[in-house]
Amino acid sequence: MPALWISHVTVSDPEAYAEYAKRAVPVIEAMGGEFIARGAAFKQLEGIGAERHTIVRFPDLTTAEACYHSPAYQAAVAFADGASERSLTIIEVSA
């Protein structure tokens, strides 16, 4: 079953976060990740908001988690640390 990365981000250092994105996107795509939504318009209806949201579809939960823990992705995340507040959830698509 496919799985989704759902992330919510508020950026405090745009330059460093841009470097994260530059490095992370190729890693995600190389591991079969397909961006469904990335920085698109949104409406916050409940809860605590963030300024950006991203949804990435992976072939399965194992691949989605392996991508996150991969050395290449973790090297990219180092640029986001301290440059943003992030929340990332991996969820299996059930339908």
3-class secondary structure, 43:
coil
C-alpha to C-alpha distance for 55 and 6, rounded to whole angstroms: 5
Residue 13 has pLDDT above 90, yes or no: yes
Residue 62's pLDDT band, with cuts at 50, 70 and 90, is very high
* Short-list 44, 48, 50, 60, CA closest to 1: 60
Type of residue at 46: E
pTM beyond cutoff 0.85: yes
